[in-house]
């Protein structure tokens, strides 16, 4: 499939802008959970950016990076949710 | 085929933007979590489906399929973990005030 | 005479490594003999350490691990279609801002652990509901546009047809 290469550029820039918007919730969120929600969105959008970059330049090494980044984001959200906060959470 | 790819890419960006709007607008953790879990998953899923359609049946497409399956499994689990933490910490869910009732 | 537990352990190890090998072949997309040999070796050595986490002892049975695959594929397709519908409803809710959130509790009748987890994930992905806690067979669900708080009717409305199809797939 040969697309107009400008389309993928537009998608990459739009996803970058969207992830900047979702950093706002990370900064202003009153509780830790709000910040975690923002981080979850940022991880999803960065995985999307990685996949689009891999398709654009036709390099499959970026897909490995995307998979490892998805795994790391999941594990880090799990760790933050588990080991911060009050005593009754850390059972 | 090309129109389908454009539609999926557009849907991905549309849901990403609206999901962020919902996260910024809703009043409570649980409602924000609803917006982020639905729209975040849909936006990433649309982009991955569009890139699978661009690549056709190649080894790269298989890797993208693995990423899609992984994300489809772990993303609800991550939002479930955040919700469970908020529930166990005792955060009270927001409720709409009834119009006839007196507030205190 | 071979021990019964040892027999089931061997079955669990082999099943875990088969799942891992399928993932390896999908991810590398490379059918050279050296690559497949490497995949089998690493899958087997990882499965030796993790079979106890991946498959619990009382879960091991033919129906619990290898369900009816064609029904599962149809279920995945329907689920993706429902995710899109749910997102459109969510966008409407975000634009109008008309919400009435409640928390409801109900029970499920599914036996298998994997089926319960898939039910919880499906509930999270359908419109306006989010699983907060899954304890044995007891679910706590946050509902965005609550119509009722009665446990039985709420369960019927939320689970919908998911539980019926999952029962067909996994018993």
The residues spanned by each domain of chain B are 2-89
Residue B104 has pLDDT above 50, yes or no: no
Confidence of residue B103 (pLDDT cuts 50, 70, 90): very low
Specify if A33 maps to a domain: yes
Q: Across all residues in chain C, what is the average pLDDT? A: 77
H or E segment to which residue C131 belongs:
strand C129-135
Confidence of residue B102 (pLDDT cuts 50, 70, 90): very low
Q: Which domain holds residue C52?
A: 4-60
Specify if A91 maps to a domain: no
Same domain, C83 and C159: yes
Same domain, C138 and C82: yes
Q: Which domain holds residue A64?
A: 5-83
Q: Across all residues in chain A, what is the average pLDDT? A: 83
| Cβ <8 Å between C101 and B96 | yes
DSSP string, B8-72: HHHHHHHHHHHHHHHHHH-SSHHHHHHHHHHHHHHHHHHHHHHHHHHH-SSHHHHHHHHHHHHHH
Across A44-48, B6-10, C12-16, C60-64, least confident range:
C60-64
A25 token code pair: 């919730």
Indicate the angle between helix axes A61-83 and A32-57, nearest 10 degrees.
170
- Length of chain B in residues, anyone? 104
Partners of chain C (3+ Cβ pairs below 8 A): B
- On chain B, the residues whose CB falls within 8 A of the CB of A48 are 12, 43-44, 47-48
pLDDT of residue C50: 81
- pLDDT one-digit tens code per residue, B11-43: 888 888 888 888 888 888 888 888 888 888 888
Closest in A37, A44, A85 to B33, CB measured: A37
The average pLDDT across C114-128 equals 79
- pLDDT one-digit tens code per residue, C130-158: 788 777 778 788 877 777 767 777 777 77
The average pLDDT across A57-64 equals 85
- On chain B, the residues whose CB falls within 8 A of the CB of A55 are 51, 54-55, 60
Query: C146 or C65: whose pLDDT is higher?
Result: C146
């Amino acid at each position: 499939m040969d697309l107009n290469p400008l389309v993928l550029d537009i998608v990459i820039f739009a996803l970058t802008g969207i992830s900047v918007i979702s950093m706002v919730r990370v900064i202003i969120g009153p509780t830790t959970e709000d910040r975690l929600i923002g981080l979850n969105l940022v991880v999803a959008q960065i995985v999307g950016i990685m996949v689009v970059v891999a398709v654009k330049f036709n390099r499959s090494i970026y897909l490995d990076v995307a998979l490892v980044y998805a795994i790391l984001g999941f594990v880090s959200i799990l760790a933050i949710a588990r080991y911060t906060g009050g005593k009754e959470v850390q059972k | 085929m090309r129109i389908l790819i454009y539609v999926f890419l557009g849907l991905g960006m549309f849901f990403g933007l609206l999901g962020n709007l919902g996260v910024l607008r809703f009043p409570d953790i649980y409602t924000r979590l609803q917006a982020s879990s639905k729209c975040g998953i849909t936006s990433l899923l649309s982009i991955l489906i569009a890139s699978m359609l661009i690549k056709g049946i190649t080894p790269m497409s298989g890797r993208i399929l693995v990423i899609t399956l992984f994300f489809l499994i772990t993303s609800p689990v991550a939002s479930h973990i955040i919700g469970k933490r908020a529930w166990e910490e005792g955060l009270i869910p927001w409720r709409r005030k009834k119009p006839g009732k007196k507030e205190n | 005479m071979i021990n019964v537990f040892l027999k089931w352990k061997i079955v669990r190890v082999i099943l875990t490594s088969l799942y891992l090998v399928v993932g390896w072949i999908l991810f590398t997309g490379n059918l050279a003999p050296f690559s497949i040999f490497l995949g089998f070796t690493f899958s087997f050595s990882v499965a030796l350490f993790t079979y106890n986490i991946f498959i619990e002892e009382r879960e091991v049975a033919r129906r619990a691990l290898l369900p009816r695959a064609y029904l599962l594929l149809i279920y995945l397709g329907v689920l993706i279609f429902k995710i899109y519908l749910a997102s459109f409803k969510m966008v409407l809710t975000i634009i109008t801002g008309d919400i009435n959130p409640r928390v409801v509790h109900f029970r499920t009748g599914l036996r298998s652990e994997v089926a319960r987890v898939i039910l919880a994930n499906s509930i999270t992905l359908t419109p306006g509901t989010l699983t907060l806690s899954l304890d044995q067979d007891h679910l706590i669900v946050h509902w965005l546009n609550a119509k009722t708080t009665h446990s039985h009717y709420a369960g019927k409305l939320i689970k919908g047809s998911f539980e019926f199809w999952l029962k067909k797939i996994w018993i």
